[in-house]
Amino acid sequence: MVVALTLAGWVTSGLWAAPNDRAITVNSSDQALFEWLLGYGAYALTHGENPLFTYLLNAPDGVNLAVNTSITVYAVLFAPLTFLIGPPATFLVILTLNLAGTAVAWYWLLSRLRTGSSGTGTGAGDTGTPFVPSRLAAAVGGLFCGFAPAMVSHANAHLNWTAGWLVPIIVWRVLALRGRSGAAPLASGGWARNGLILGALVAAAFSIAAEGLFFTALACGVFLGVWALDRSRAAEVRDALPRLLRGLAVTAVVATSLLAYPLYLHFLGPQVFHGTGFDARIHSEDLLAYGAFPERSLAGVAGLGTSLAPNETEENSFFGVPLLVLTLACLALLWRAADPGRRATLRALAGTAAVFAVLSLGPRLKINGTITDIPLPYAPLAGAPVFNAALPARLAMVVTPIVGILLALALDLLRQRRATGASTPRRLRLWTAGYVVALLPVVPVSLLTVEREPVPQFITSGQWRDHVSPGGVLAPVPFTLDVLPDGQRWQAYAFAHRQGEFAIPSGFFLGPGGPDGRGRIGPVPRATDALLHEVARTGVVPPVTDADRAAARADLRYWNAEVVVLADRVHGAKFPVDADALLRVTTDLLGPPQRVADVWLWPAPDGGW
């Protein structure tokens, strides 16, 4: 626990000095989104609002948060902390705990899971041999799972994907569904009780990381399927299958009952879409990425990193060649020493890793950044329901815990051989060197952070309430998007400091409007927000025509904006923003502004826009 917290604090250390003033360099947009979700979730809880749909974003159409990453469970559980220290600091606490918790949860599973003659888990606390008897080996496996390249990469602001602690807990409960022959349904280890617990876990996981839950379910299915096909396990499969199926039925009933409304919104509610709109060919894993080193690692800062990921948050494999070699060597070592039951488990682990590694390569093979015409098994899945809302590259994250498990099992076997004298000191030294050479390059370093523009005094002082009615529309300039997140940061501050609420046009969210009925980031732009976005991006002041002025007023009427606001400093997540250029263009569009506190203000005329 101490080591895990220390490492998590080190990875996130760039934010701890000033959580409200600093942002993750490569992904300040997602950070602002999750801060908004925490602020809105706390507001919704205390004001009786719908946590899964809001009209405070994308006025007047609203946003379906159920099809976005709403992290409702986190927002509710951490609401007291959000009100106490604010959304940015709460975001940082959750991010740090996610990393540490993932390592601790995998350590707990590896060291507490008990195995029977089959070599697979029968549940924590049951009688039998620990899956990884050595606590040191289990700690190595757990720490790798918590701080692997994929986890550190997604620590660039992804509160959903860093919640990897959910995976070992769900795996534990799935394995518990096998139960014990003769156990009563509601007894400890009974299929009904285990189904109830797993159903509740599934509902919580859906709220925090629905895509991750989908991948976990697929991985469990592949693992159990490969394991069950082993001929030596036939009798055990016949014995456990009825309990497993009954337990899964209970799980489905419980999860569906708890998720009935979120699932309705997700698939049938307003502002839904089918598919994220992200290109699966681009957001797939490069074949060479498995042997590459991640950017935020010792190897990366030494100049050995690559740009093979779609972006810095998606280094989903990036194990490095030494670690790939060590993993295969561990598998071979374990295979030679294994009995039939353990071999069935090893075969299932290897088979699951192979399936997900291949699927992560996407619909077309990509090598060194070049997308080839070579089709891959993911191609027929790309348009399938649920798959069309997932990114294939992230399937590689399933490989990470399998690597960690194999490292832990092999280290435990080597420890046993050392104790019994079954291996020579020279061979043990070679294995130790192999672990060091493979793991040292991927040891994480701290995330890059940058100073971000403060929330203006106009918001922090509550002066905005003198110009906007409760729930009225405040239009930030430039209009809020993923690359221009200030409007949602202002809202999050108002939510968390109990100032009340105001709505904004646009916003950073996934909604309808993409090609072929798929989703897109933010709404389909209107003339005015498109114009101001281009000024923010380029700093170029275009000539403003009467047609532009008429369009601006029409757009403001559509949004029902009560006031337009431009701060002195504007945060751009991907580019610097020239606030002076925005002031000149907005003045040309709407006329001279008022100066209120530290912002420029254009109130709606008495007769409306």
Q: How confident is the model at residue 74 (pLDDT cuts 50, 70, 90)?
A: very high
Output the pLDDT for position 187: 47
Reduce the DSSP state of residue 350 to 3 states and report it: helix
Q: What is the mean pLDDT of the chain?
A: 93
- The residue among 330, 354, 598 whose CA lies nearest residue 457 is 598
Cβ neighbours of 416 (radius 10 Å) = 15
Output the pLDDT for position 393: 95
Output the pLDDT for position 5: 96
Tens digits of residue pLDDT in 352-407: 999 999 999 999 999 999 999 999 999 999 888 888 888 999 999 999 999 999 99
Tell me: pLDDT of 36 over 50: yes
As a three-state string, the secondary structure of 278-295 is CCCCCCCCCHHHHHCECC
Cβ neighbours of 15 (radius 10 Å) = 23
* HSE of 530, CA atoms in CB hemisphere, 13 A: 8
Mean pLDDT along residues 521-529: 93
In angstroms, the CA 311 to CA 158 distance is 13
Tens digits of residue pLDDT in 1-18: 899 999 999 999 999 999
Output the pLDDT for position 508: 96
Q: In what order do the strands lie in the sheet with 113-115?
A: 121-124, 113-115, 129-130
Tens digits of residue pLDDT in 596-607: 999 999 999 987
Q: How confident is the model at residue 120 (pLDDT cuts 50, 70, 90)?
A: low
Show the beta-strand stretches assigned E in 178-279: none
Q: Measuring CA to CA, how many Å separate 526 from each of 58, 243, 270, 518, 553?
A: 12, 56, 20, 19, 12
357 in the Ramachandran plot: left (φ > 0), alpha (ψ -120 to 50) or beta? alpha
In angstroms, the CA 478 to CA 485 distance is 9
Q: Contact, 482 vs 29, CB < 8 A?
A: yes
Tens digits of residue pLDDT in 462-513: 999 999 999 999 999 999 999 999 999 999 999 999 999 999 999 999 999 9
Q: Measuring CA to CA, how many Å separate 11 from each of 90, 272, 283, 310?
A: 16, 36, 25, 22
Q: How confident is the model at residue 201 (pLDDT cuts 50, 70, 90)?
A: very high
In angstroms, the CA 318 to CA 298 distance is 13
Provide the token pair at 555: 């757009």
Residue corresponding to tokens 């800062």: 301
Residue corresponding to tokens 């749909």: 53
Q: How confident is the model at residue 433 (pLDDT cuts 50, 70, 90)?
A: very high
